[in-house]
Structure 1
Amino acid sequence: MFQVSRDNPAYYLTSVAHRRLPIFQTDEVKQIVCDAFDEARKSAGIMIFAYVIMPDHTHVLTDNAREMREVLRYLNGVSAKRLINYLKENGYESSIAKLRIQDRGKNHKHSVYEHHPNALRITGEDAFMQKVNYIQLNPVRAGLTEHPDDYLYSSSRQWHGNSLEIEPLITDHKQIKWRPAA
């Protein structure tokens, strides 16, 4: 069980695609990201309470089982590797070219995410729920859907008890221990 507090914060992570490219546009790519997040979740012991995969960024609300930079390394590192492999294997050379960056030498590598993700420590239940609501409403605000539960690559349905038979990514939201109402 996880109870958010000053001593036990949650992490709210926003990772933006390189150059804000809409690389998470297709359902296939979004599912690759979800599968990578699930793999990272299981291998690193990270709880994911809420998430959304938008066309050019992701939001994830996690526990603090690891240092924030480690959580980012697991989530973004695994998903970036899977996405680059997918693009290479399926002949998306123009997409690969858009993700190419030059390292300190003359070599090229690829970057799926910007290198300065937005990471916040959340230390109270009110702030936690504010981030959950922000995540759930992100597709509505972006004009991608009229109702949060209708957006497939989001944890909204799970929070509202409307889970699909097969969700793109199962969250750990039921592992949250809430403080008793005063």
Structure 2
Amino acid sequence: MSNTPKAHRLRTGRHSQSGRIYHLSAVTHERQPIFNDLYVGRLLVSELRRAHEAGNATSIAWVVMPDHFHWLVELHNGDLPRLMQAAKSRSARAINQQRGRHETLWQKGYFDRALRREEDLKAIARYIIANPLRAGLVTRVGDYPLWDAMWI
């Protein structure tokens, strides 16, 4: 078995393409459940929206879980590493400032899956926003405050 860190393996063969749809996710450092705090979760949401408003990606659906997030996006300007680096670094700065700390917020790397156009995006978006249900955090999706989808 290789001693290569998992984050390094995540980058192997990674290719991003403008106009392509991706399912992205990132995990907090040591899986700290910092997004149990709604205000902290909203700071991350602001950064996901910033990427959308800047024209770098169209947010199709997202959910912020206590220790990670899922984001379904269509990539526009730039590439995945820049998009994720910006979202993670800006959210870390805002969250650390709000909490009065200077801590590592995110694990290195992220997961991505490129989707084919013929895949059912609504089904994938439903899967993403149903994460709180599967985790037992709520009994109805509408009761969970940190999610959105373009069709809702």
Whether the TM-score (by the shorter chain) exceeds 0.5 is yes
**Shorter-chain-normalised TM-score: which range?**
0.7 to 0.9
Query: For the Cα contact (< 8 Å) 1:10–1:128, is it kept in 2?
Result: no
Q: Say yes or no: does 1:122 pair with 2:133.
A: no
Q: Give structure 2 stretches of 5+ with no counterpart.
A: 1-16
Q: TM-score, normalised by structure 1?
A: 0.66
1:8 Cα deviation from its structure 2 partner: 3.6
Q: Say yes or no: does 1:148 pair with 2:144.
A: no
1:83 Cα deviation from its structure 2 partner: 0.8
| Corresponding letter in the other structure for 1:146 | T
Q: Corresponding residue for 1:72?
A: 84
SS in 1 for 2:105: coil
1:44 Cα deviation from its structure 2 partner: 5.0
RMSD value, Cα: 2.1
Q: TM-score, normalised by structure 2?
A: 0.78
User: In structure 2, what is the Cα distance between the partners aligned to 1:80 and 1:127?
Assistant: 32
Cα distance change, pair 130–136 in 1 and its aligned pair in 2 (3 A) = same
SS in 1 for 2:147: coil
Q: Deviations over 1:65-116 (max 9, x none)?
A: 121111101221211111111111xxxx5xx5xxxxxxxxxxxxx3211102
Mean alpha-carbon deviation: is it higher for 65-74 or for 123-132?
A: 123-132
Q: Give structure 1 stretches of 5+ with no counterpart.
A: 1-5, 97-109, 162-182
Bigger radius of gyration, 1 or 2?
1
Q: Deviations over 1:124-182 (max 9, x none)?
A: 342533421221110000111111122111115x53x4xxxxxxxxxxxxxxxxxxxxx
Q: Corresponding residue for 1:55?
A: 66
Percent identity over paired residues: 24
User: In structure 1, what is the Cα distance between the partners aligned to 2:55 and 2:95?
Assistant: 19
